[in-house]
Structure 1
Amino acid sequence: MKFLFDIFPLLIFFGSYKYAGSHEEAAQAFINTHLSSFISGGAVTASQAPIIIATVVGIVATLLQIGYLLVRRQKVDGALWVSMAVFVVFGGLTIYFHDDDFIKWKPTVIYWSFATAMLVAYRFFDKNLIKAAMEKQVSLPEHVWVRLHFAWITFWLVLGFVNLFVAFVLFKADNSAWVNFKVFGVTGLMLLFFIAQAFYLSKHIKDEA
């Protein structure tokens, strides 16, 4: 359930994009009627409408996600605050300029923000964020924690570059393909990384036994 909650804005973004893409003229009419004051020039084309609708819905979903946690007095992870801030800024630019380049940069900015935070925490505050998150569940030698920490930093950096390649090179003129990659491709890459991490950890846990 937590996994579904964590990816709730992503699923909403995906679903609203696909729905609006199947009803471009209706989506265009809705935006030009109700959101024109938030858009440069006051109107969008039918082809621009799906990504605008998805961005608006995604921002609202992220705000609701955080609001739900605050109302229930649960901790809001720093990563979620970062995601919200980046989504609002880059999503807002996407909506105002009706330019999908901004929203395509959003995942990369988030991934690189994670990598930067982890690197700064380690270099300047001597804090291993991966160890802090996982040490209650598993005991590992210190050198393994360090390797794992930098593996995550590398993963976020690479994932950011992959997103840029897919968005601006591989599928430069195909927003639908980029949205599919954002949902399924990134999720698949993260799953592979989790599996690789599990194999690596199991090896060292056995060594410690």
Structure 2
Amino acid sequence: MSTAPTPRQEPAGASKLLIDLGPLLVFFVANYLAPVDPLLKIFVATGAFMVAMVAAMIYSAIRFRHISPLLWFSGVMVVVLGGLTLWLHNETFIKLKPTIYYLLVSGLLGFGLWSGRPLLKTVLGSAYPGLDEDGWRKLTRNWALFFLFMAGLNEAVWRNSSTDFWVGFKLWGAIPLTFLFAALNIPMLLKHGLRRADAEPAEPGPVE
């Protein structure tokens, strides 16, 4: 007699915030508190960011026995581009990381939409139960365009401002914009089958 597989538990609430936002908060705090030459602060923050990201992945693996594809993707990028930043002593690599992440995720979502497979449903399916296929297509389109916008915004900020301003933008700009965008999608989702009891903003993955 076979038994139904146990549904995989996904991070939610405080755990999801810890996994998605924790490394970024560590990056910001390390850059702010690093008692070193201002020109070296970003390298201290980058090292702390790398450690925090690996810790978030380990926590997800132990607590939920699962690391989401986007967390894997973001984690590998932090380790690789952060490693290049420290090795070559060039902060450009860590500043490019959000741009590359946003462009690749936007491209993947756009390709899935073009090929008739809204990939966002795989990532956020448990967060939006009852959402119909048209709703998933619209949500996928919206996030693909948002990530494309964020890639351009990150480029504009890091190329035209100080490093400290860019680090602050990641915390006080990118995070609020991402959650605001997720909230603005709720009315559309409610029209496509989402229950009001489940209408909580959800972002696809770690905030970059």
RMSD value, Cα:
2.1
Asked whether the 8 Å contact 1:90–1:102 carries over to 2, the reply is: yes
Q: Percent identity?
A: 31
Where is the helix percentage greater, Structure 1 or Structure 2? 1
Q: Alpha-carbon deviations, 1:88-121, whole Å to 9, x = none?
A: 1211111122221111111111111211222333
Matched, 1:202 2:202: no
Counterpart mapping for 1:3-14 below 5 A: 3-14=17-28
**Shift of residue 72, structure 1, vs aligned partner:** 4.1
Structure 1 counterpart SS, 2:77: helix
Q: What does residue 84 of structure 1 align with?
A: 75
1:48 corresponds to which letter in structure 2?
A: L
Say if 1:91 and 1:147 are closer, same or farther in 2 by CA, change over 3 A.
same
Q: Which residue of 1 aligns with 2:40?
A: 49
State the AA in 1 paired with 2:19. F
Q: How does 1:49-198 map to 2 (within 5 A)?
A: 49-72=40-63, 74-124=65-115, 126-136=116-126, 137-169=128-160, 171=161, 174-198=162-186
Residues 69 and 205 from structure 1, CA distance in 2 versus in 1: closer, same or farther, beyond 3 angstroms? Answer: closer
Kindly indicate whether the alpha-carbon contact (under 8 Å) linking 1:52 and 1:94 is maintained by their aligned counterparts in 2. Answer: yes
Gaps (5+ residues) in structure 2? Answer: 1-13, 195-208
Please state how far the C-alpha of 1:58 moved relative to its aligned partner.
Answer: 0.5
State the alpha-carbon separation in 1 of the partners of residues 184 and 78 from structure 2: 29
* Contact kept? 1:130, 1:149, Cα under 8 Å: yes
TM-score by length of 1: 0.78
Contact 1:48 1:98 in 2 (8 A): no
The correspondence of residues 31-50 of structure 1 with structure 2, limited to 5 A, is 46-50=37-41
Deviation at 1:146, TM superposition (A): 1.2
Q: Residue 139 of structure 1 aligns to a residue in which SS?
A: coil
1:199 deviates by: 2.1
State the distance in 2 between where 1:49 and 1:193 align: 34
CA distance in structure 1 between the aligned counterparts of 2:132 and 2:112, rounded to whole angstroms: 19
Gaps in structure 1 of 5+ consecutive residues: 25-45
Partner-residue secondary structure (3-state), 1:48: coil
Which amino acid in 1 is paired with 2:119? L
Deviations 1:54-94 (A, max 9, x none): 00011011111112233346110000111111111211111
> What letter is aligned with 2:181?
F
For 1:132 and 1:140, the matched residues in 2 are separated by: 13
Once the 2 structures are TM-superposed, how far is the Cα of residue 198 of structure 1 from its aligned partner? Answer: 1.0
Higher relative contact order (CA 8 A, sep 6+): 2
How far apart are the structure 1 equivalents of 2:143 and 2:56? 25
The total of aligned residue pairs comes to: 180
